Amino acid sequence: MGRLSGKYALITGGSSGIGLETARQFLAEGAKVAITGRSETALEEIRQQLGDVLVFQSDAGNVFQQQELIKTLQAQWPRLDILFANAGDVTHRSLEEWDEAAYERLMNTNFKGPLFLIQSALPLLANPSSVIVCGSVSARIGLPQSSVYAASKAAILSLARTLSAELHPRGIRVNGLSPGPTETPALGKLGNGVEDDKLREEIRSLVPIGRLGTATEMAKAAVFLASDESAYVVGTDLLVDGGVGNL
């Protein structure tokens, strides 16, 4: 308890899954927390569940909305100690099924939006502070139907490394957190209709330890990266994946 006492934390995509559980864990560790999501109704429900948390309706793939989010936060908080760019589009499709609109939507959410969110947050980020981007073990493996998704995660993890080199003189640490297959609502949004169950089983079979991860396991890893315990961790990609990426 208290590992994040006095820290101000922003979590995008905080209305479900890993983001929501991370908000719970951050609050339990003493942080002041703000979350974003697309659904106003869902955000209000979460606010009532979590209590003392700021909620903002925001599309993580919309650059203007990311800029406005930071402006709004600047008016309410003195600084930002933790930024967890967690919101993501998990669409998986065969190569033949991709079209430009779906590609743009996924890349905007998974890469362009987080890039400009971090840029906008620079004046608010404290020295020291921790930026965490949500990667995926998919960036390291060749899972069928994950082409665009995996490429977006490879891009955001590369960004974490390069921004680490650029921003560490300002006291800003940037790291990636890469979940393996995790039991969250997003898992049900991977495919298209009848192929969903087949794809889920294929993903589950990838995990050497024989089970999916939990949102709590991912959130605990985020707490570590957000806390001062990881002060010597810079530019890394923390795999929390049941061995998928290494075994």
Average confidence (pLDDT) over 46-56: 93
Q: Does the pLDDT of residue 191 top 60, yes or no?
A: no
Residues 6+ positions from 199 with CB-CB distance below 8 Å: 92, 145, 190, 191
Q: Where in the sequence numbering do the catalytic residues fall?
A: 149
- Provide the pLDDT confidence category of residue 196 given band limits of 50, 70 and 90: low
CATH 3.20.20.10 is the classification of domain 8-240: no
- Provide the pLDDT confidence category of residue 189 given band limits of 50, 70 and 90: low
What pLDDT, on the 0 to 100 scale, is given for residue 193? 44
Q: Does the pLDDT of residue 152 top 60, yes or no?
A: yes
Instruction: Give the residue among 70, 67, 64, 86 at the shortest CA–CA distance from 13.
Output: 86
- Provide the pLDDT confidence category of residue 170 given band limits of 50, 70 and 90: very high
What percentage of the chain has pLDDT greater than the value 90? 87
Average confidence (pLDDT) over 205-234: 96
What percentage of the chain has pLDDT greater than the value 70? 96
Domain layout of the chain by residue ranges: 8-240
What pLDDT, on the 0 to 100 scale, is given for residue 192? 52
What pLDDT, on the 0 to 100 scale, is given for residue 203? 76
Q: Does the pLDDT of residue 184 top 90, yes or no?
A: no
Average confidence (pLDDT) over 112-119: 98
DSSP 8-state assignment for residue 108: I
The SS3 of residue 114 is: helix
- Provide the pLDDT confidence category of residue 201 given band limits of 50, 70 and 90: confident
What pLDDT, on the 0 to 100 scale, is given for residue 194? 43
Query: 61, 89 in Cβ contact below 8 A?
Result: yes
Q: Sign of the CA dihedral 193, 194, 195, 197? A: positive
